[in-house]
Chains A and B, each alone.
Chain A
Amino acid sequence: MDSPVFASMTIGGAPPRGTIPTDDRFLCGWRVASALPLPDLLPWTGGDGPADLRIEVGPVPERLTDTVFDQPLLQVAADGTCRFQVPGVAAYLIDADARRVVVEPAMAPDAPDIRVFLYGTVLGLLCYRRGLVPLHASCVRIGGGAVAMAGASGMGKSTLAAALLRRGCPVLSDDVTVIDLASPDGPRVLPAFPRLKLWGDAMARMGFAVDGLERSRPELEKFHLPVETRFSRQSVPLRAVFHLTVGPGHEGGTTRRLHGPEAAAGIGRDLYRNGMMVRLGQSKRLLSAAVALTGIPDGIWTITHPHDAGCLDRSVAAILERMAA
């Protein structure tokens, strides 16, 4: 490891201290001071206040003490400290107050692989620890409201967001949609980062060129499409959530509005890695968050999105039509 960011790395000792953050970035409205280069985040243009989140590069202990959850990739300590690791990529230590993340890379610190999991599981952990609600969803702005497309991995959330982007809808987030329930005017989506992570074949079908784009992992045909100029920098009230589903027996774009307990159950299923909420001892928050989200103005929907021919266009049309109604 001969990268400059390791020059001041402290080895051993507890708690671990990492390098001094230098990168000044924006994520979910937070000022992020990072020793890890975070080129996919917007530069911080807010005030001179202290950082809301510090990302340091340094050693992460193999084991947390006093764990309440201890599984191969994720450990959670009784005080809320979390340790997440992707073998061969990086280990991440999230402080109990979720204001500091120490990253110990297992590869070059500027590798995109490290950021991929930072903006995924680690961001989810930070949100849960900070009282925010992350959805497993990509999100765009339609008119004055945020519309989230939620669903299982592989359902095409990012592709649908890209297709809506082509129809002029600014992007708010990709894969993890962070919601602030504490806002007085109702749930608001916090803008995350101005890029979509898309499979090469989906990009080709939509006419996006992959030349010169960063791969999310060198081994994957998955690319980071920057969307800086079409990114919503402001938080936006959440208007609707569309849960992508396979069927059964319907062509793409068939919508059905969910009400009451069915809507709450749908949101519960769409919480980002909802098991993490349980592991962090926040099970009780789960129900109240789900119920709060069912009250958003344009509601909770399912939309069939089975990936058959023409499905993407039908789903885009259905969402735009519902939001125009």
Chain B
Amino acid sequence: MTGFVWIASYPRSGNTWLRLALGALLDPGQAHAGDAHARFAPNASQRSDIEEALDVETGDLTPAEMEALRPVAYRTLAALSRRPLFRKVHDACIDAVAGTPLFPPDATLATLYMVRDPRDVAVSWAHFAGIGLEEAVRFLCDAGATLRPAAGRPPLDLPQRLLCWSGHVRSWLDAPGRRCCLLRYEDMVADPAAILGRAAAHAGIAATAETLDRAVAATRFDALRAHEARQGFDGGQSPGSAFFRSGRAGGWRTALPPDLEARIVAAHGPAMEALGYLAEAGERPCWLTAAAVGK
């Protein structure tokens, strides 16, 4: 009996970067960190997890049955496995059916929650999905937003309910069970070794200053981008778009028109403020010093 380490985030918030860095930490001998993408921490919504756990064809299940069976499958996989199971998650942390969390606390070892300024998320999402900025902002403000396999791709993952951006954040910060480890993308950009170290400690992954530095070096943004340019990187982005695009924090200042920025702030202001995204430059958000964050 073991359990899951959920590596959770809203889409385009640094989830892949964190996963690749954790993958490099766990397997320092791999040829290139970018190659671990397909192996380490697959998507929790992959249909094969349910099928492997429950011996049932997901294509024959109704959406309601699949929702109800996801936590059952996670419990079963946790019971059958002898090693921690790492999964990427974009779903909001909601109930699968009333009173039953989609990600059962009793099958959870740890949760790493990566958050990013929603204004940067909107710009990145527009590029990723091949849509306009206005549509991207609308998506971040839509309480019914659902991530589905893109047209022209096999539906290997189940639809993932996201809620709106701040609904997603709240769902994970308020999730039942052991409190998640909150990681800010911006802090990872500023000091990747420190943030990776905090993630590893929370997830129970052994790390030293040396192994952290090596994992950080292996997953530097320019290295990942160069690897993508050489070999390609299929992270589900729209055709012709780069997966590793800018890797910066604050790019929205030049990319996002003021009216769209205002719309994001109006919809998500309280959560943004709590996470320090509305603080003046250099000012440490008071919320980040809360006990909730440091664990």
Contact = CB atoms under 8 A, between A and B. Distances in A.
Do A and B interact with each other, yes or no?
Answer: yes
Contacts of B55: 71, 73-74, 84, 121, 124, 273, 275-276, 279
Contact residues of A: prevailing secondary structure: loop
**From B53, B55, B156, residue with most partner A Cβ within 10 Å:** B55
Contacts of A279: 55
Given A246-B154, A307-B154, A154 B56 contact: no
Interface residues of B, number: 32
Q: How large is the interface on A (under 10, 10 to 19, 20 to 34, 35 or more residues)?
A: 35 or more
A152 interface: yes
B242 to A, nearest CB: 14
Given A121-B57, A275-B55, A309 B47 contact: no
Contacts of A249: 231-232, 234
Contacts of A87: 65, 68
Given A84-B55, A120-B60, A309 B152 contact: yes
A153 B152 contact: no
B59 interface: yes
Contacts of B231: 249
A212 interface: no
Contacts of B153: 246, 306-308
Contacts of A71: 53-55, 76, 79-80
A87 B56 CA distance: 12
Contact of B65 (A88, A222, A246, A306): A88
A144 to B, nearest CB: 30
Contacts of B52: 275
A158 to B, nearest CB: 9
A308 B152 contact: yes
Given A84-B55, A154-B59, A154-B154, A248 B234 contact: yes
Interface string B23-49: 000000000000000000000000110
Interface in A216-259: 216-217, 219-220, 222, 246-249
B54 A74 contact: yes
Contact of B156 (A84, A154, A248, A275): A154
- Sort A-B residue pairs by CB-CB distance and give the 4 closest, nearest first: A219-B62, A154-B155, A249-B232, A73-B54
28 contacts: A71-B53, A71-B55, A71-B76, A71-B79, A72-B54, A72-B76, A86-B65, A88-B65, A124-B55, A152-B48, A152-B154, A153-B47, A153-B48, A153-B57, A154-B47, A154-B156, A197-B59, A216-B60, A217-B60, A219-B62, A247-B234, A273-B51, A273-B55, A279-B55, A305-B154, A307-B153, A308-B152, A309-B152
Given A71-B53, A73-B56, A152-B47, 18 more contacts: A73-B55, A84-B55, A88-B65, A124-B55, A152-B156, A153-B57, A153-B59, A154-B156, A155-B156, A217-B60, A217-B62, A246-B153, A246-B154, A273-B51, A275-B52, A306-B152, A307-B152, A307-B153
